[in-house]
């Protein structure tokens, strides 16, 4: 009967150290800690799959918080059912949940619903923030590579008879960007004779 840990953060810039320290403090051996830096909504989480394959009957899978394991109630319940079928319990350290008791299983299900609700609210707030930013004129995405000076230069080169491929080479821009600089459909007509 071993304690096995799964720890996760959503992005490369975040640190696993705090979660790792909690697991070590709980007495989990370093070789039994599975960790990864991936989004919780990503269904392809190799370290989680490895942890679920590694645990055996009588083991306990430990996580720090429910949202480290799953982002939706249905995903969490699928994982819990998979663990249950293998005879493995789940322990959530920060929320003091242990699925070896009926009260622990009930609390886990309630917290999963709240976690999913919180994720939905956060997404809604994010969309509201994006809409407000757009209303204020904030531009999203990459900045255009073809500035006014570059567009002028591209048009001058084309007027001088340079082929599209030569303009691309000279500016380091893609064919689509060069055509846009030449005026879209008009640029495509000019470029037809490339």
Largest CA-CA distance found in the chain, in angstroms, rounded: 80
3-state secondary structure of 5: strand
CA dist., res. 117 & res. 120, Å (int): 5
Element holding 142 (H helix, E strand): none
Q: Spot the catalytic one: 10, 96, 152, 174.
A: 10
Element holding 89 (H helix, E strand): strand 89-92
> CA–CA distance from 110 to each of 8, 36, 81, 94, 95 (Å)?
22, 26, 16, 15, 12
HEC assignment per residue over 26-38 = CCCCHHHEEEEEC
10 is catalytic: yes
- What are the residue numbers of the active site? 10
């Amino acid at each position: 009967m071993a304690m096995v840990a799964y720890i996760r953060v959503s992005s490369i810039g975040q640190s696993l150290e705090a979660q790792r320290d909690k697991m070590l403090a709980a007495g989990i051996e370093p070789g039994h800690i599975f960790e990864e830096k991936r989004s919780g909504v990503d269904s392809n989480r190799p370290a989680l799959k490895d942890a679920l394959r590694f645990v055996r009957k009588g083991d306990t899978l430990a996580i720090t918080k429910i949202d480290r394991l799953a982002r939706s109630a249905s995903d969490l319940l699928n994982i819990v059912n998979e663990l249950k079928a293998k005879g493995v319990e789940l322990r959530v350290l920060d929320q003091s949940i242990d699925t070896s008791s009926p009260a622990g299983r009930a609390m886990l299900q309630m917290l999963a619903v709240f976690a999913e609700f919180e994720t939905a609210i956060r997404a809604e707030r994010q969309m509201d923030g994006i809409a407000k930013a757009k209303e204020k004129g904030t531009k999203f995405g990459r900045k255009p590579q073809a500035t006014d000076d570059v567009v002028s230069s591209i048009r001058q080169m084309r007027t001088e008879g340079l082929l599209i491929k030569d303009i691309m080479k000279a500016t380091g821009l893609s064919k689509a960007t060069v055509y846009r600089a030449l005026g879209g459909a008009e640029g495509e007509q000019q470029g037809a004779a490339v």
